[in-house]
Amino acid sequence: MHSSLRNRVGVLGGAFDPPHNAHLAVARAALRQFELARVIFVPNGIPPQKAPTDGVTSEDRYRMVRRAIAGRAHLSVSRIEIDRDGPSYTIDTIRAMKEDCPEGVCFILGADQLFAIETWRESQALLKSVPFVVAPRAGVSLSFLERPPFDVASIHVLEMDEVDLSSTEIRDRAARGESIEAWVPRSVARYVEEHGLYRVGAAVRSHGAGGQDR
């Protein structure tokens, strides 16, 4: 166990377009391995570096996360970014969360997202401002963690299988009319079906696994 993170609040941000089983697996692993008090999913609002999927609103993504985590202990979802005017920057969210959570926070993300963090707003300040909990990603060597600027950060790697699932793959399947129930909670699959999300005619854009790269 990593006592330095015990009872902190984990912040798991992303597009969640749609939320899938790997997101839940990462959240559960972080809760268990680092004895976090809870994990808050934070669907992003207007991501500066990404175009939203046509026909899928911020409310859709928020509602899908609510369905995905319903009945799961110590998991919640925040509207902090989708209710924010203008682009959503992670540094702003972390600063706000640190004020709201006196017990302390940590930031949960995939290794691929951390690798690209230098493209984010105030990346140096972000790296120094909060501990990171990193999920291993297929095809991403963790050797970069030993190099600057990551050597200034407090980084904790989750002990779990490499995540090899992305929302892009799931959107592609839904666009072809295929079932996505093997990769998302059943309640999310029903929401996608009920609202006709990601079907032919909607532009399926590449968001990446976490959708946080900002």
Backbone angles phi, psi at 27, to 5 degrees: -60, -45
Position 141 in a domain: yes
Position 86 in a domain: yes
68: left (phi over 0), alpha (psi -120 to 50) or beta: alpha
Position 29 in a domain: yes
20-45 per-residue burial string, b: 16 or more CB within 10 A, e: under 16: bbbbbbbbbbbbebbebbbbbbbbbb
Position 190 in a domain: no
Position 202 in a domain: no
Position 84 in a domain: yes
Position 116 in a domain: yes
The pLDDT value given to residue 53: 74
What is the helix (H) or strand (E) element at residue 9, kind and residue range? strand 9-14
Position 205 in a domain: no
Residue of 21, 5, 7, 13 whose CA lies nearest to 114: 13
Q: What CATH number does residue 82 fall under? A: 3.40.50.620
Q: Give the count of domains, the chain.
A: 1
The pLDDT value given to residue 44: 92
The pLDDT value given to residue 2: 54
Structural contact between residues 109 and 134, judged by C-beta atoms closer than 8 angstroms? yes
| Averages of pLDDT over each 10 residues, the chain, 214 residues | 84 96 98 98 77 83 98 97 89 96 97 96 96 96 95 95 94 95 98 92 41 47
CA distance 30 to 12: 10
CA distance 156 to 136: 11
Structural domain for 106, as ranges: 3-164
The pLDDT value given to residue 213: 42
- How many CB atoms lie under 10 A from the CB of residue 185? 21
